[in-house]
A and B are shown apart, each in its own frame.
Chain A
Amino acid sequence: MSSLSGSELVHVYRTMLTIRLAEERFMRGLRRGEFPGFYFPVRGMEAAAAGVHAALRPDDYYITTYRGIADVLAKGASLEAVFAELLGRVTGMSRGKGGTMHMADPARGMMLTTGIVGSGTPIANGLGLAAQLRGDDRVTGVSFGDGATSIGALHEALNLASLWNLPVIFVCHNNLWGECTPLEAYTTTARLAERATPFGIPGVTVDGTDVLKVYDAARQAVDRARAGEGPTFLELVAPRILGHYFGDAGEYMDQDAVERARANDPVPTFGQWLVGQGHLGPDQLEAMSKQITDEVEQALAAAVRSESLPADELYTDVFAPGVDAPR
């Protein structure tokens, strides 16, 4: 049973609901053409992300992937900075130059988001190494999808993390789909956390829709890393509810499985659990939803008021200021 207090549990739920409502608003905007770009939905991953981040400290490092807005929000990003980034505006967290697939918020430890499957894992080792060499106790987490278990970079990274005993948590979000191909069509490995075993890294598989189980597993992994006991591989199984990308209807997915995943939606499930346990009243649940909806709308409105990037920004940030770079 989770060691989280009642108010901490409510905070975790608030994070999950913020992810859900921000994404719903964003996708509504994408349908209306309010936003540019390309998007990979996280619906169904809210518990997995919120549970992991609840176990981390604000100064811990994190790296995520293009399906990463849940991690970015759970790491504490401001909604306005997120929306402005999604719009490509100057008040975006990366001044509009990263966009949906490259959200970074280094002040909160959200160090980068990669658009390349599995590529964050070797980089996470470097952050872990920086903390280890400095002698501080910061932990680094890195999210990747189940598809990344087919990439060589992950295996190189696991070997090095084990060899150097790095304080890194490898967080595999197993949504049972590698892009548009189901898990059983691309690997014979029944449990993806087994990928860690040959490297001497503990591999733990938990139900990624159950935020308390995710938190407990993440807590153990983070405590191990912080104590200098090395990396852990966490496999969080949370079936994908939507298509691979926004606009992908997912007609190739087994519709019965999708319906089961929808019925097991982690956000209302945890909300009702909190009510049942007496941590929140039904009216408070409703009030929180309304409050977050208002925050999302206000953040979006502020982001929309922000300026687009002026043309002279095209050539800035390629190199450090003052470098006489080619044009």
Chain B
Amino acid sequence: MTATQTTREMTFGEAINDALDVALASDPTVFLLGEDIADPPGGVVRLTKGLSTKYGTDRVRATPISEQAIAGAAIGAALGGLRPVAEIMLMDFMTLVMDQLVNHAAKHRYMSGGTSHLPLTVRTRIGHRRGAQHSSSYEAWFMHAPGIKVCAPATAADAKGLLLSCIADDDPCLFLEPTPMVRSRRRSQVPTGDYRVPIGQAAVPRTGSDVSIISYGQQTPAALDAAATLADEGISAEVVDLRSLVPLDHRTVLTSVAKTRRAVVTHAAARFAGPGAELSAMIHEELFDQLACPVRRVAAAFTPVPFAPSLEQIHTPDAATIAEAVREVVRQ
């Protein structure tokens, strides 16, 4: 954000809508496609509200409930020189487009020897909290598919800046929208106009000296809440918000952990074979002799997301769980 950049208060959802608006206004090759995205209703949770009215249904295209057709059309349009932004309503529905995204989008640049590439963005929501088939966080699957970038913003400003970077990027990008943030009415300052956050650059929203809490997406507010609680107890926690999972900003992570010598990684995806496994392995490989204790992962249970509120509450770690893990780590 430059000093001259004006800002406006927006919710996370409004920031996404604003990013799409800026992209449609500034680049005639950008178009949107997905289920229900045209007015009315302007998206199943209204994220694209107003855009088809403003830009027309040629560029903001509602589709049938056909995820393979949506992803395939986005890939073909990208091959044909456009910059499509496809919406797949929820991460659980990404199972229906794995062939198109993994076999085709992610591999195309490599398989074509760089003779063509796919500048496409796929937006999807994660962490919806509506039972086992509408709530999952499968970002690790995409981290394991070379050729697709994965972005997971935690603030309204980052949502806008990363989404605009994804749309302008020459590789396929998966853009994750955590439902707790999409639903939140909280407003924060977001730069107006064309604002970009570089893909692959983590943020450090809170500095500290005793421990690094590494998070992304919906866990970042929880990590910040935990850090605030811990500060009252005399524990100085630094929070690293990854913002992008692929490429992963290993330098910022390693710089932070080299300073604090302790790391807690948290995510709403399952702990077992989750993104934290890669982060933990990387930190141990690079900083083994500098660590005061092993890296701790605080992540979701290796179960389908439960519906029962009493189980759902303990499935995904909250600020209290993160804080407790940090206390244990700091004692080591």
A residues lining the B interface (CB < 8 Å): 61, 63, 92-98, 102, 104, 106-107, 111-112, 114-116, 119, 121-131, 133-134, 140, 152-153, 156-157, 159-160, 163-164, 316-320, 323-326
Please pick, from B79, B103, B171, the residue contacting A119 in the complex, using a CB distance under 8 A.
B103
Q: Does B261 contact A (CB under 8 A)?
A: no
B58, B81, B82, B112, most chain A CB atoms within 10 A? B112
Q: What size tier do the contact residues of chain B reach? A: 35 or more
Identify which of A93, A95, A96, A129 gathers the most chain B CB atoms within 10 Å of its CB. Answer: A129
Contact A129:B80 (CB < 8 A) given known A319-B147, A319-B171, A320-B171: yes
Q: A161: nearest residue on chain B (CB-CB)?
A: B69
Report the separation of the CA atoms of residues A115 and B109 in the bound assembly, to the nearest whole angstrom.
15
Closest-by-CB residue of A relative to B65 is: A156
Q: Is the CB of B99 within 8 A of A127?
A: no
Nearest chain B CB to A196 CB, angstrom units: 15
Are the C-beta atoms of B69 and A125 separated by less than 8 Å? yes
A131 to B79, CA, bound (A): 11
| 26 A–B contacts from the bound complex (CB under 8 Å) | A95-B113, A104-B116, A112-B116, A116-B103, A119-B100, A122-B69, A123-B72, A123-B73, A123-B76, A126-B79, A126-B80, A127-B79, A127-B80, A130-B76, A134-B81, A153-B68, A153-B69, A156-B72, A160-B64, A163-B64, A317-B110, A317-B114, A319-B171, A320-B169, A320-B171, A323-B247
Q: Find chain A residues with CB under 8 A from B110 CB.
A: 97, 317-318
Contact of B76 among A92, A122, A326 (CB under 8 A): A122
Q: With the chains together, A318 CA to B171 CA distance in Å?
A: 9
A-B pairs, 9 with minimum CB distance: A126-B76, A122-B72, A130-B80, A95-B113, A94-B113, A156-B69, A126-B77, A156-B66, A126-B73
Residue from the list B77, B108, B169, B171 in contact with A127, Cβ < 8 A: B77
Is B180 part of the binding interface, using a Cβ–Cβ cutoff of 8 Å?
no
Residues in chain B within 8 A of chain A (CB atoms):
31, 58-59, 61, 63-64, 66, 68-69, 71-82, 84, 99-100, 103-104, 108-117, 146-147, 149, 169-171, 200, 246-248
Determine which of A125, A164, A326 lies in contact with B72 in the assembled complex, contact meaning CB atoms within 8 Å.
A125
Q: How far is the CA of A129 from the CA of B72 in the complex (A)?
A: 11
| Most interface-central of B59, B81, B113 (chain A CB within 10 A) | B113
What distance in Å separates the Cβ of A15 from its nearest Cβ neighbour in chain B?
23
Q: Looking at the complex, which one of B74, B108, B149 makes contact with A126 (CB distance below 8 Å)?
A: B74
Taking CB as reference atom, which chain A residue is nearest B66? A156
B116 touches A111 (CB 8 A): yes
B109: chain A residues at CB < 8 Å are 317-320
Q: Which chain A positions have C-beta within 8 A of B63?
A: 160
* CB <8 Å contact, A106 and B112: yes
Residues of A within 8 A of B100 (CB): 119, 122-123, 153
Cα A183 to Cα B297 in complex, Å, equals: 52
